[in-house]
């Protein structure tokens, strides 16, 4: 890496749209939230460069959670396609972003040693996968719609069906970990974690919309879920904006 190479600086994260670290209704936040104000530091070369990822690191079935853990059969549950675009704050595509996915099975249970929910594990469903965005920022993967599950927050709290995402863009400071929920799920309004998001617009950005036009007939429904990563401060020209 030459010393003359110039790296873009990135805008600070908009904390007005992010939920607070401490909220008494979300009980585990009480103990693990910071007690002092966070210290803001200028980004260094470590944050504004990398990661260096190669498409050869992905296996052919990494993006297909229906098949990538199959043990001679198919997983139980509603088959779905999730797709969308990875964009920055200027609505420009983020190509070659790594999208890592993990989720519960159709019964609401994770394939994890600490998950003690009584729903059975599905021998044909691993619950994790990964894919990359193309040159237009577009991504897609197949999976099983996850089920809701109870959690020890209040006496009868249930998490809505959701899928976890970890995104790695062109720089480490673009890293984002988030969750996707499903349009029309009544548990969204009752969820203690989502209740910490006070910005209704930000909350709606976490909800995937049914996209019947992208459904696979007699096979899978589809949900559209676009995600936004922070943008670089490089000069923006109108000619580089995507057409409406």
Q: What's phi and psi for 150, nearest 5 deg?
A: -75, 150
Residue 83 is a catalytic residue: no
Largest CA distance in the chain: 59
d(CA 31, CA 29): 6
- Of the candidates 202, 232, 228, 244, the one whose C-alpha atom is nearest the C-alpha of residue 88 is 228
**Assigned token pair, 98:** 């790594």
- Of the candidates 64, 38, 40, the one whose C-alpha atom is nearest the C-alpha of residue 129 is 64
Residue 138 is a catalytic residue: no
Q: Which of 164, 190, 224, 230 is catalytic?
A: 164
Q: Do 141 and 63 meet the contact criterion of CB atoms below 8 Å apart?
A: yes
Residue 223 is a catalytic residue: no
CA of residue 230 relative to chain centroid, distance? 14
Residue 26 is a catalytic residue: no
Q: Which of 10, 26, 139, 149 is catalytic?
A: 149
DSSP reduced 3-state for 119: coil
Residue 90 is a catalytic residue: no
**Assigned token pair, 156:** 């009868």
* Residue 99: strand pairing partners: 131, 167
Q: Which of 83, 142, 159, 181 is catalytic?
A: 159
Q: Which of 110, 139, 181, 223 is catalytic?
A: 110
In the block, tokens 């927050």 appear at 153
**Assigned token pair, 192:** 């203690």
Task: List, by residue number, the catalytic residues.
Answer: 110, 149, 159, 162, 164
């Amino acid at each position: 890496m030459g010393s003359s190479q110039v790296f873009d600086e990135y805008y600070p994260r908009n904390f007005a749209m992010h939920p607070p670290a401490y909220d008494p209704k979300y009980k585990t936040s009480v103990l693990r939230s910071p007690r002092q104000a966070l210290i803001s530091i200028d980004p260094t070369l470590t944050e504004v460069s990398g990661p260096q990822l190669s498409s050869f690191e992905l296996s052919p079935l990494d993006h297909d959670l229906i098949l990538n853990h199959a043990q001679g059969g198919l997983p139980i549950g509603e088959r779905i396609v999730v797709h969308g675009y990875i964009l920055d704050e200027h609505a420009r595509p983020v190509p070659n972003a790594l999208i890592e996915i993990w989720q519960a099975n159709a019964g609401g249970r994770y394939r994890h040693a600490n998950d003690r929910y009584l729903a059975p594990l599905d021998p044909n469903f691993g619950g994790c996968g990964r894919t990359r965005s193309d040159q237009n920022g577009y991504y897609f993967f197949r999976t099983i719609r996850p089920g809701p599950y109870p959690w020890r927050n209040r006496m009868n709290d249930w998490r809505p069906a959701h899928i976890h995402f970890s995104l790695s863009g062109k720089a480490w400071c673009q890293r984002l970990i988030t969750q996707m929920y499903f349009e029309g799920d009544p548990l969204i309004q009752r969820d203690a974690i989502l209740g910490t998001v006070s910005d209704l617009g930000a909350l709606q950005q976490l909800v995937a919309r049914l996209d019947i036009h992208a459904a696979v007939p007699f096979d899978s429904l589809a949900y559209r879920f676009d995600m936004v990563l922070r943008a670089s401060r490089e000069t923006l020209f109108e000619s580089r904006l995507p057409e409406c």
